[in-house]
Structure 1
Amino acid sequence: MTTRDIVFIALFAAFMAVLGVFPPLLIPGLGIPITAQSLGPMILGGVLGAKRGTLAMLLFLALVAVGLPLLSGGRGGLAPFVGPWSGFIYGWIAATFLIGLLTERFWRKINLVSAFLISVAGGIGVVYLIGVPWFSFVSGTGLAEAFMGSMIAFIPGDLVKAGIAAAAVTLVKTSYPLISPRLDNRAR
């Protein structure tokens, strides 16, 4: 790992913290806050790639775990990792990795549409795949009820975030690419 990689990891961990400055919107009856930080995995993975993006996310979450109030609403410490919505935080790690992996794999073909679809697959699909069952289990809510509540309340905003992330990824790709395209075994 180069000094440049370490700088980007720290910089994008700080970016996640900046997204936490925006106060959370709490949906009555659900208990899951709408935050700007759910945009983070889409941008971290899409701009930095799988390894550096995931390391940036892990650094950010480690800083939260040691008590820094970096989550939306000024939350920090270990409590955010055991609540009903904690699965969404764990989903950020997997989403960042998947988005980074897909972005690296399809780097040469990345455009606004493909970046959007990758952001939706990771930033919505993976995060919800981990977060909704966790929320259902911890809160005692039925899985179908938790999923429908998530769909109605959060997916429209998450689609907007995926669009913002796609625009950022394509802009960075054309102006200052940080990802090297993965080589196919056949291309070697």
Structure 2
Amino acid sequence: MESRAIARIALLAAVIAVLGMLPSIVLPIAAGVPITAQTLGVMLAGIILGPRHGALAVLLFVFVVLLGAPLLAGGRGGLGVLFSPSVGFLIGFVPAAYVAGLVMARLKTLPVFAAALVAAVVGGIVVEYLCGIIGLMAIARMTPLQSLVATAVFAPGDVLKALAAAFVAEAAHRSYPAAIACRS
């Protein structure tokens, strides 16, 4: 792997970490899973870096969190997060970034904004929610319907994050066309 790719992977992992420093909102209906800005970083990792490097950036972030760095919203980190209701969402970061990158790569014929929006919704919302629902069912002992309802609370904010990711991708592509890995 070339040093430029490693730097981009590290940079996107850092962006996800910084987004965790923004204040989060904890809703009781979602078993304590917070609303955070970090899924925006996950969407951007896949869209900008592509499937493989995007997933590696998120994997790097998750690895650092599991080592104990308090980079998750609310200053959480360490192995204890694997036993919290948000574990499905955390583990889902990796496949979400991969799928977002894969969708972005497959939609080369669409304009960047449209492709990035679809990629963010499919990877950053659908895949992320699927993993989150499974985590809520396993850890919080919710029924599938309860976990679906709890996860639906995040939808309005995540749609806004998907739009933001598409705007960022479009702006990055306009200012530096090689910024989007699958478009260069």
Is this a same-fold pair by TM over 0.5?
yes
Partner of 2:174: 174
SS of 1:72 mapped into structure 2 = coil
Work out which of the two has the higher radius of gyration on C-alpha atoms and give 1 or 2: 1
User: TM-score, normalising length from structure 2?
Assistant: 0.92
Partner of residue 39, structure 1: 40
1:39-118 matches, within 5 Å, as 39-118=40-119
Structure 1 unaligned blocks of 5 or more: 183-188
CA distance in 2, matches of 1:82, 1:110: 41
**Equivalent residue for 1:141?**
142
Distance in 1, Cα, partners of 2:29 & 2:141: 13
Kindly state the Cα deviation for residue 108 of structure 1 after the two structures are TM-superposed.
4.1
SS in 2 for 1:21: coil
The total of aligned residue pairs comes to: 182
Q: Which residue of 1 aligns with 2:16?
A: 16
Query: Which residue of structure 1 aligns with residue 3 of structure 2?
Result: 3
Q: In 2 relative to 1, CA 58–180 (structure 1 residues): closer, same or farther, beyond 3 Å? A: closer
Please give the secondary structure, in 1, of the residue aligned with 2:44.
helix
Supply the AA of the counterpart residue of 2:76. R
User: Identity, % of aligned pairs?
Assistant: 40
RMSD: 1.6
Consecutive aligned runs of 4 or more in structure 1 exceeding 6 Å deviation: none
Question: Counterpart of 1:15 in structure 2: which amino acid?
Answer: V
State the secondary structure of the residue aligned to 2:73: coil
Given the superposition, is the C-alpha separation of residues 25 and 4 from structure 1 closer, same or farther in structure 2, using an over 3 Å criterion?
Answer: same
Amino acid at match of 2:89: F
Which stretches in structure 2 are left out of the alignment for 5+ residues? none
